[in-house]
A and B are shown apart, each in its own frame.
Chain A
Amino acid sequence: MEGVIPKTLNEALSLMASKNYIPVAGGTDLMVRYKRWKNLTPSFPAAPLFIANLPELRGIYREDDELIIKAATPLSDIEGHSDIPVVLKEAVRLMASPGIRNIGTIGGNVGNASPAGDTLPPLYVLDANVVLLSEKGKRTLRIYEFIKGPGKNDRREDEIIYEIRFKVPEYTHYFYRKVGTRKANALSKLSFAGIAKVENGIIEDFRISLGAVAPFPVRVIEIERKVVGKKTEEIDGQFIDSIKKDYEPYIRPIDDQRSTAYYRKKTSLRLIESFLRAL
């Protein structure tokens, strides 16, 4: 199936409305997924639509107190941009290798909806929105509404992921850890992103998310609410144990070859504890 290189965003949207295309951004996931033997063109199950170089889909902008990252912005541009919150920057910096970050995009990572997608935990704690665009108009979804399960998301066939946007949070503490087998190119065994705001000894904001420990990233607002409002001196061993107990049922790793479920669970709870202790 012959692919198309649209010249403008409008052309891309009208093509997407006419029949089923597979949007291709950097191609770092798709070119591997559909590859065949040497010298043979990868076999896409529907015609690919190459959107990586549409100027309307690239760039990082500020709009009032919101930060906007256009979907086809390469990961390396995000890593190098001064307005990007450190939790996200750190996650991107630890992804893959420079050659992959130079072409892989944030829209591709979100579009992939992999439980091990490394931008997801930071985007969950940032309360990011995913903006979808089609000829019919725009739709804005919270990232946790958009991600539907391993490899599944809420995009309709006529839509493209247009941008990711979030309110730049104020925070005094952040914590990002990626526990993988080898630094470069290791898909996460598990990852942890957390931000918190402590003022005058009181925890005013507390958000954490864990990646690769369940079919989709874990974020549990009800548990976070138990931490918000507490004085830092109230975060003692007993309180930490109760929070860890609360998280336990949400950490349901699939036992694949990358690591055993037991190890992932233990490590996740330990990271939650470290972040609480640091407040």
Chain B
Amino acid sequence: MKVRFKLNGEEVEVEANPASRLLDVLREKFGLIGVKEGCGEGECGACAVLLDGRVVHSCLVPFANVMGKEIITIEGLRKTEEYRIIEESLLDAGSVQCGFCTPGFVISIYALLKNNPNPEDKEIREAISGNLCRCTGYQMIIDGVKLAAKRGEKLWKA
């Protein structure tokens, strides 16, 4: 079945089984390999993307459900100033080691700061509760988010 949707700012149309996972379509048909597969069961957040601005786990989304929607992957965010600030802040806070989980965290952090430019610790914890990291401690990631909130102050409020 042909499905039309918006991907990283461009209208696209692609032929795929409507029951296939959004994750596979993004990686196989569009080569967007920044979208990672960890668990494949909604537990780890490595496959996170934005669907109409909201975080979703693309391993759980049937491709049919993106018809007419807008998807933004880490590749789409990479062109933005917001991305640069989040990435630098995570690096400076020491919250990146192997980096496998990082794209998923960046998606969750971006969605958080866009809605809540000045989050408290418990709001940050909640926002990243669907992301797992096997390498660093969550406290370092929380520190990274706070740094990004401060450095990007004007951007988040825009």
Q: Contact residues of A with B, CB < 8 Å?
A: 2-5, 24, 26-28, 30-32, 35, 38-39, 41-42, 44, 48, 50, 52-53, 76, 96-100, 102-103, 183-185
Residues of A within 8 A of B56 (CB): 99, 102-103
Known contacts A5-B1, A35-B40; A103 and B65 CB within 8 A of each other: yes
Q: With A and B bound together, what is the CA distance between A3 and B56 in angstroms?
A: 21
Chain B 16-33, CB-CB to A under 8 Å as 1, else 0, gives 011111001000100000
Q: Are A38 and B24 in contact (CB under 8 A)?
A: yes
Q: With A and B bound together, what is the CA distance between A97 and B40 in angstroms?
A: 15
Q: Are A184 and B41 in contact (CB under 8 A)?
A: no
Interface residues of chain B: helix, strand, loop or mixed (majority): loop
Q: Are A27 and B60 in contact (CB under 8 A)?
A: yes
B68 nearest CB neighbor, chain A only: A53
16 more contacts with CB within 8 A, not counting A27-B62, A53-B65, are A5-B1, A26-B60, A35-B40, A39-B28, A41-B21, A96-B130, A97-B129, A98-B108, A99-B42, A99-B56, A100-B57, A102-B51, A102-B54, A103-B65, A183-B129, A185-B43
Interface residues of chain A: helix, strand, loop or mixed (majority): loop
Q: With A and B bound together, what is the CA distance between A2 and B20 in angstroms?
A: 10
Decide yes or no whether B48 CB sits under 8 A from chain A: yes
Q: With A and B bound together, what is the CA distance between A124 and B127 in angstroms?
A: 29
Q: Are A32 and B127 in contact (CB under 8 A)?
A: no
Known contacts A24-B62, A32-B60, A50-B65; A38 and B40 CB within 8 A of each other: yes
Q: Are A27 and B41 in contact (CB under 8 A)?
A: no
Residues of B within 8 A of A41 (CB): 17, 19-21, 24
Interface residues of B in 50-83 (CB under 8 A from A): 51, 54-57, 59-62, 64-65, 67-68
Decide yes or no whether B126 CB sits under 8 A from chain A: yes
Chain A nearest CB, measured from B4 CB (Å): 11
Residues of B within 8 A of A38 (CB): 24, 37, 40
B45 nearest CB neighbor, chain A only: A99
Q: With A and B bound together, what is the CA distance between A24 and B28 in angstroms?
A: 23
Q: With A and B bound together, what is the CA distance between A270 and B102 in angstroms?
A: 42
Residues of A within 8 A of B51 (CB): 102-103
Of B19, B42, B57, B111, the contact of A44 (CB 8 Å cutoff): B19
Known contacts A102-B51, A102-B56; A5 and B45 CB within 8 A of each other: no
Q: Are A98 and B127 in contact (CB under 8 A)?
A: yes
Q: Are B37 and A98 in contact (CB under 8 A)?
A: no
Q: Are B21 and A5 in contact (CB under 8 A)?
A: no
Chain A to chain B: the 7 pairs with minimum beta-carbon distance, closest first: A97-B130, A184-B129, A50-B64, A102-B54, A41-B20, A3-B18, A99-B55
Residues of B within 8 A of A5 (CB): 1, 18, 64, 67
Chain B nearest CB, measured from A29 CB (Å): 9
A183 nearest CB neighbor, chain B only: B129
Chain A nearest CB, measured from B5 CB (Å): 11
Known contacts A31-B62, A76-B54; A99 and B20 CB within 8 A of each other: no
